[in-house]
């Protein structure tokens, strides 16, 4: 079992006054939050709320307009590669080379993340994520569910301390989605990994997340644990909470309480 990634700083992720502007559009507007080491934070919001932008900023593929980001104690503006070696990312919107086999793709990323004994690690992941059947098939010939498993294997190749997942179960059938959530739970329990999860699936959020940040038009409009949010909005599930926030119904909900 891997130790907790941070001994001295209790937060694996610290975001302070983060903003990202594209021309006249403010995609992320002065947001601040922290994710304690070992916790799972859900990043929720409608399309265009700023979830993917926030993840891209955390990964250093996007430079913020203002604000700061620290991951695993590293300032992402100055020292992002030290953090990136201990992070990983999965998104259905970013592909792996389709003509390479699954094993070749995992080998490439094993090298990029400097994973020792790559062959052994690929065999482990193949066993854990049930990849054996298509390990030597080109990635482009896989079904959506198989691609998700491969994307997850790629995201776990370096046993990350911080995992950023952008809608990992989007477009999956309920069975495969449930299986993916099980894998994430298992990995978190075994490794003490910190997870930041952007999702539209509220069952997933309730099941996996210790805390939730609700984004709307780039701003944080509410945050707390799923249980706290359910009480605050007087709702029975997170879908209703999501709709209240999306449709500015918090005041109405408060009045009804």
Using CB under 8 A, list all residues that contact another protein.
22, 53, 56, 59-63, 81, 84-85, 87, 89, 91, 93-101, 104, 107-114, 138, 154
Q: What does residue 107 show for φ and ψ, rounded to 5 degrees?
A: -65, -40
Shortest distance in whole angstroms from residue 175 CB to another protein: 26
In a 13 Å sphere around the CA of 202, the CA atoms on its Cβ side amount to 16
Question: In terms of CB distance, is 139 or 238 closer to another protein?
Answer: 139
Shortest distance in whole angstroms from residue 3 CB to another protein: 21
Question: In terms of CB distance, is 73 or 224 closer to another protein?
Answer: 73
Question: In terms of CB distance, is 26 or 62 closer to another protein?
Answer: 62
Instruction: Decide: 181 and 204 in contact? Cβ < 8 Å.
Output: yes
Tokens standing for residue 135? 């390990």
Question: In terms of CB distance, is 70 or 154 closer to another protein?
Answer: 154
Shortest distance in whole angstroms from residue 181 CB to another protein: 22
| Separation CA 257–CA 176 (nearest Å) | 38
Shortest distance in whole angstroms from residue 94 CB to another protein: 4
| Separation CA 18–CA 79 (nearest Å) | 17
Shortest distance in whole angstroms from residue 239 CB to another protein: 29
Question: In terms of CB distance, is 62 or 253 closer to another protein?
Answer: 62
Beta strand residue intervals within 96-218, DSSP E: 162-166, 194-198, 211-216
Q: Rounded to whole angstroms, what are the CA distances from 41 to 51, 65, 170, 193, 231? A: 12, 23, 18, 12, 18
């Amino acid at each position: 079992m891997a130790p907790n990634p941070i001994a001295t700083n209790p937060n694996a992720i610290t975001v302070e006054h983060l903003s990202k502007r594209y021309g006249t559009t403010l995609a992320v507007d002065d947001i601040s939050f922290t994710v304690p080491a070992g916790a799972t934070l859900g990043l929720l919001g409608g399309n265009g709320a700023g979830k993917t932008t926030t993840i891209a900023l955390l990964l250093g593929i996007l430079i913020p307009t203002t604000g700061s980001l620290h991951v695993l104690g590293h300032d992402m503006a100055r020292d992002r590669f030290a953090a990136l070696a201990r992070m990983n990312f999965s998104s259905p919107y970013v592909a792996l080379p389709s003509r390479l086999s699954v094993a070749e793709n995992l080998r490439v990323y094993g090298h990029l993340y400097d994973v020792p004994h790559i062959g052994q690690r690929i065999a482990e992941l193949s066993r854990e994520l049930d990849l054996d059947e298509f390990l030597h098939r080109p990635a482009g010939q896989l079904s959506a569910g198989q691609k998700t498993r491969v994307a997850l294997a790629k995201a776990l190749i370096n046993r990350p301390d911080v995992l950023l997942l952008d809608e990992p179960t989007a477009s999956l059938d309920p069975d495969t989605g449930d299986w993916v959530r099980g894998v994430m739970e298992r990995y978190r329990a075994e490794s003490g990994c910190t997870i930041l999860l952007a999702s539209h699936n509220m069952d997933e959020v309730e099941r996996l997340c210790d805390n939730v940040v609700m984004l709307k038009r780039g701003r944080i409009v509410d945050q707390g644990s799923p249980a706290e949010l359910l009480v605050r909005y007087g709702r029975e599930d997170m879908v209703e909470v999501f709709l209240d926030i999306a449709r500015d119904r918090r005041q109405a909900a408060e009045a009804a309480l």
